[in-house]
């Protein structure tokens, strides 16, 4: 009856990001494309935190704008499908018009996927 035995609606670990603002300037100053691999990503909170940190760093002009490639993998097909649905919905919200419409949409996504 269960399709997966190891599934959490919301993670139970501390959210972290492998991205640090000056790490690429120190070790690869000529890099224009940066790649990340997230294995057994679960609920994708670390991936989403990494996106937020990159976005904030670029907004504050702490780092130059680069191209980023993310590979996300998980052993649980349920977890992967759930993430794909969330990312498709977030892509939809990026194409919406007004702030009110975005807020309603994001509240719906949040209450659908991130409640306990």
Q: Which of 8-12, 13-17, 21-25, 35-39 has the highest mean pLDDT?
A: 35-39
Three-state SS annotation for the chain: CCCCCCCCCCCCCCCCCCCCCCHHHHHCCCCCEEEEEECCCCCCHHHHHHHHHHHHHHHCCCCCCCEEEEEECCCCHHHHHHHHHHHHHHHHHHCCCCHHHHHHHHHHHHHHHCCC
Q: Is the pTM of this model over 0.85?
A: no
| 106-115 average pLDDT score | 71
What's the pLDDT score for residue 26? Answer: 77
Q: Is residue 66 pLDDT above 70, yes or no? A: yes
């Amino acid at each position: 009856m269960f399709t997966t035995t190891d599934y959490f609606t919301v993670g139970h670990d501390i959210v972290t990001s492998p991205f640090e603002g000056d790490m690429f300037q120190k070790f690869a100053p000529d890099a224009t494309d940066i790649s990340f691999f997230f294995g057994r990503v679960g609920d994708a909170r670390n991936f989403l935190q990494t996106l937020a940190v990159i976005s904030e760093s670029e907004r504050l002009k702490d780092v130059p704008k680069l191209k980023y490639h993310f590979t996300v993998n998980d052993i649980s097909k349920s977890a992967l499908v759930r993430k794909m649905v969330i990312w498709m919905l977030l892509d939809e919200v990026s194409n919406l018009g007004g702030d009110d419409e975005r807020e309603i949409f994001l509240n719906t996504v949040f209450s659908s996927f991130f409640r306990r």
